[in-house]
Amino acid sequence: MAIRDNHAMLSAEEISIILLSLKVAAASVIFSLPLALAAALLLARTQFRGKTLVDALIHLPLVLPPVVIGYFLLLAFGRQGLLGGFFERVFGLVFAFRWTGAALAAGIMGFPLMVRAIRLGLEAIDPRLEAAARTLGAGRWRVLASVTLPLALPGIIMGALLAFARSLGEFGATITFVSNIPGETQTLPLAIYNLTQSPGGDSAILKLCAISVLLSVAALVVSEWLNRRSRGPGASTLA
Amino acid sequence: MKLEVAITKRLGALELDVEFSAEAPVLGLFGRSGSGKTSVVNAIAGLLKPDSGRVVVDGEVLFDSARGINLAPEKRCIGYVFQDALLFPHLSVRHNLLYGAPRGGGGAIGFEAAVELLGLAALLERRPLALSGGEKQRVAIGRALLSQPRLLLMDEPLASLDNQRRMEILRYIERLRNELKQPVVYVSHAVGEITRLADHVVLMNEGSVLAHGPVQQIFNRADLRPHTGRYEGGALIEAEAVAHDARYFLTRFRFDGGELVAPGIDTPLGARVRIRIRSRDVSIATVMPQGISIRNVLAGNVTEIADNGGAIVEVSVRLGTIDVPARISRQARYELAIEPGSRVFLLIKAIAFDKRSVGFAAS
């Protein structure tokens, strides 16, 4: 086993891997949150034909092999792909072999987890509270903003946390879609995978693994803190 | 307040088909649980869309299936107090109260006045989770009131409270009626609440209206007794407080069939009250009794006897303009040879009247 002098310190390379991972995870959560909210509201609060189909579609990333999702993304969001071409022409946004693609893959993989948690949060709200708000003169949008979303906040925070953690760990779809490019798409799991492919990287691997654990625990702590804050002073943390 | 309701709605096994029109400060919606009362108030509030029909409040059409009108609940200006308060758990009492209040204040009742009326000053910064059942219901009433509704719907607001809290909330609701002149539709299956609060009653049974009219008329109709309460059934009289007996804490009331003595209530002389006489509290004597503790002895003629061959018969005796039913055993009826037309004495203990059976009539 090779022993390095700087084993306790992080190299510039490692820091850039961590920052990239956080950037990818944060971007995936920020951009999928509004969509997940809309999807959860649709599933929890409305009845329509084909609801089961929509529900199943949203859950696909949870049940399909990540490699399959990655390949679909490559087909759709590659520069030759239908959607990839559209985003490049209209927004100048390229996904293929970019960190944005890694964020897209992570966002899609985390989407079902996020929708499920938010939906559970919404379904735990007594719909009569919303009815009460409307008899007090609040229109649908005000009810959503002042009653539904605040009461669903624990579910929303939980959904964001799950998706964030899932993004930090995303591997299969990412490596298939945007490959393993250091500094661009090489997030923590991909970097760890890389190290396992070459001999003598054990201590570096352990270091990255420890960082993974730290980041996940930190995300949990932050979400729990947000949760407490959202319930206000003196409120129980038990739902 | 004038309310016209004519709606139909299929609700699972229940076929709701309700039609009534009433003009009254407080309208009571009375009937057993499952008779469709809540669905009617939900339709008035706009929370339930009827299959067909109309809902009109003070001339404004809120719902009319024929003309395709269905105002959203938030456009109806109708307050709603639910059975279980339904306060917003994430807001303080203050912000619950202000939720529906017009921005910048204004309206018939201001924030301070509502807080004062309902005794909420000490609760303002608390969260609903930290309130008792009675406190929650007071906040819910205040919240609905501050949205300045032209009509306040109250759906069994006392049902989830204990007896002491019930009396307390009932007094607050009486203040809304007497001091604010707030029009109310009050839903309940409790006779005492309806007879204390309502001026006009809609009696519902299995999704339709059995009868509606002034409260005294409905609760004194012999043919409706099976629906106006078996245990609680009886007569409802309107009387005037004429004297207080400070030494024995009694109040004397006069009505058109005589005088009644009841435990003292805190009412100015001359005030109109409604007194409910439960028929199970009334005994009958054929001669004027002597040496008896019962304070109320009233003479009258038997008008009708309901005898279905069981242990109990119900003997109605005319006092003034109303028939007061007495529930006695069939054996007693035959031993005393009580027949329609007999002259009898009705005996009612003064203490049979409690806070639940004496209420102030709307002035």
Averaged over B283-311, what is the pLDDT? Answer: 92
Residue B279 CB neighbours (<10 A): 22
Q: Is A147 on the interface with B (CB under 8 A)?
A: yes
Q: What percent of chain A has pLDDT over 70?
A: 93
Q: What is the per-residue pLDDT for A3?
A: 45
What ranges do the domains of chain A cover? Answer: 12-233
What per-residue string of b and e applies to A142-161 under the rule 16 or more CB within 10 Å gives b? ebbebbbbbbbbbbbbbbbb
Distance CA B155, CA A184 (A): 62
Which pTM value belongs to this model?
Answer: 0.81
Chain A residues near residue B130 by CB distance under 8 angstroms: 234
Model confidence pLDDT, tens digit, residues A213-222: 999 899 889 8
Measured between CA atoms, how close is A146 to chain B, in angstroms?
A: 9
Q: Would you state the structure tokens that stand for residue B315, as one six-digit string?
A: 């003997």
CA B325 to chain centre: 20
Q: Which amino acid is at A40?
A: A
Find the residue in A nearest to B98 (Cα): A136
CA A177 to chain centre: 17
Residue A213 CB neighbours (<10 A): 9
- Contact: B99, A138; criterion CB under 8 Å: yes
Chain B residues near residue A133 by CB distance under 8 angstroms: 88, 99
CA B167 to chain centre: 13
Q: Residue A234: pLDDT above 70?
A: no
Q: Is B74 on the interface with A (CB under 8 A)?
A: yes
Instruction: Please report the sign of the dihedral spanned by the C-alpha atoms of residue B113, residue B118, residue B119, residue B123.
Output: negative
In this structure, which long-range contacts are made by residues A93-96, counting pairs with CB atoms below 8 Å and at least 24 apart in sequence? Answer: A95/A177, A95/A178, A96/A177, A96/A178
Q: What is the per-residue pLDDT for B27?
A: 95
In sequence order, the 6+-apart residues with CB closer than 8 A to the CB of B38 are: B155, B156, B187
Averaged over A140-169, what is the pLDDT? Answer: 94
Measured between CA atoms, how close is A174 to chain B, in angstroms?
A: 40
Q: What is the per-residue pLDDT for B179?
A: 85
Q: Is A239 on the interface with B (CB under 8 A)?
A: no
| CA distances in angstroms from A197 to A15, B67, B115, listed in the order given | 21, 74, 72
Report the DSSP pairing between strands B69-70 and B60-64: antiparallel
Q: Residue B363: pLDDT above 80?
A: no
Size of interface A-B (CB pairs under 8 A): 60
Q: What percent of chain B has pLDDT over 70?
A: 96
Q: What is the per-residue pLDDT for A24?
A: 96
Q: Is A237 on the interface with B (CB under 8 A)?
A: no
Q: What percent of chain A has pLDDT over 90?
A: 74
Measured between CA atoms, how close is A137 to chain B, in angstroms?
A: 4
Does domain B2-229 fall under CATH 2.30.40.10? My reply is no
Q: Least CB-CB distance to A132: which of B76, B80, B129?
A: B80
Q: Residue B195: pLDDT above 90?
A: no
Q: What is the per-residue pLDDT for A236?
A: 39
Q: Please, which pLDDT band fits residue B186 given cuts at 50, 70 and 90? A: very high
Chain B residues near residue A147 by CB distance under 8 angstroms: 88
- Find the range with the poorest average confidence among A148-157, B231-240, B291-300: B231-240
Give the residue, A238 or A77, on which the prediction is more confident.
Answer: A77
Report the DSSP pairing between strands B2-11 and B78-81: unpaired
Average pLDDT over chain A, rounded to an integer: 89
Q: Least CB-CB distance to A135: which of B78, B88, B127?
A: B78
- Contact: B80, A128; criterion CB under 8 Å: no
Model confidence pLDDT, tens digit, residues A48-96: 999 999 999 999 999 999 999 999 999 999 888 899 999 999 999 999 8
Averaged over B106-128, what is the pLDDT? Answer: 90
Query: For chain B, where do the domains classified as CATH 2.40.50.100 start and end?
Result: 235-360
DSSP state of B254: E
Q: Is B47 on the interface with A (CB under 8 A)?
A: yes
Find the residue in A nearest to B99 (Cα): A136
Regarding the domain with residue range A12-233, which homologous superfamily does it belong to in the CATH classification? MetI-like (1.10.3720.10)
User: Do B318 and B300 form a contact (C-beta atoms < 8 A)?
Assistant: yes
Q: What is the per-residue pLDDT for B219?
A: 86
Q: Residue B318: pLDDT above 90?
A: yes
Measured between CA atoms, how close is B89 to chain A, in angstroms?
A: 8
- Contact: A137, B147; criterion CB under 8 Å: yes
Residue of B47, B48, B82, B90 to mutate when probing chain A, most A C-beta within 10 A = B90
Q: What is the per-residue pLDDT for A203?
A: 86
Q: What is the per-residue pLDDT for B273?
A: 85
Distance CA B46, CA A137 (A): 12
Q: Residue B339: pLDDT above 50?
A: yes
Chain A residues near residue B129 by CB distance under 8 angstroms: 235-236
Chain A residues near residue B90 by CB distance under 8 angstroms: 150-151, 231-232
Distance CA B114, CA A146 (A): 23
Find the residue in B nearest to A134 (Cα): B74
Find the residue in A nearest to B149 (Cα): A136
CATH level 2 (architecture), domain B235-360? Beta Barrel (2.40)
- Contact: B144, A135; criterion CB under 8 Å: yes
Q: Residue B100: pLDDT above 80?
A: yes
State which H helix or E strand residue B285 sits in: strand B282-285
ipTM: 0.81
| CA distances in angstroms from B46 to B56, B80, B113, B157, B198, listed in the order given | 12, 11, 28, 19, 23
In sequence order, the 6+-apart residues with CB closer than 8 A to the CB of B265 are: B241, B251, B273, B355, B358
> Which residues partner with B23 through β-bridges?
B2
Q: Is A134 on the interface with B (CB under 8 A)?
A: yes
Please choose, from the candidates A187, A176, A193, the residue with its C-alpha nearest in 3D space to the C-alpha of residue A64: A176
Q: Please, which pLDDT band fits residue B269 given cuts at 50, 70 and 90? A: confident
Model confidence pLDDT, tens digit, residues A194-230: 999 888 878 889 999 999 999 989 988 988 888 887 7
User: Do B85 and B169 form a contact (C-beta atoms < 8 A)?
Assistant: no
Residue of A128, A136, A151 to mutate when probing chain B, most B C-beta within 10 A = A136
User: Do B227 and B55 form a contact (C-beta atoms < 8 A)?
Assistant: no
Report the DSSP pairing between strands B250-255 and B151-155: unpaired
Q: Residue B24: pLDDT above 80?
A: yes
Q: Least CB-CB distance to A128: which of B46, B82, B129?
A: B82
Q: Please, which pLDDT band fits residue B282 given cuts at 50, 70 and 90? A: very high
DSSP state of A145: I
Q: What is the per-residue pLDDT for B359?
A: 67
Model confidence pLDDT, tens digit, residues A8-43: 578 888 899 999 999 999 999 999 999 999 999 999
Q: Please, which pLDDT band fits residue B190 given cuts at 50, 70 and 90? A: confident
Q: Is A131 on the interface with B (CB under 8 A)?
A: yes
Q: What is the per-residue pLDDT for A1?
A: 42
Average pLDDT over chain B, rounded to an integer: 90
Q: How many residues does chain A have?
A: 239
- Contact: B74, A151; criterion CB under 8 Å: no
Q: Residue B194: pLDDT above 80?
A: yes
State which H helix or E strand residue B23 sits in: strand B14-23
Give the residue, B297 or B233, on which the prediction is more confident.
Answer: B297
Q: What is the per-residue pLDDT for A199?
A: 86
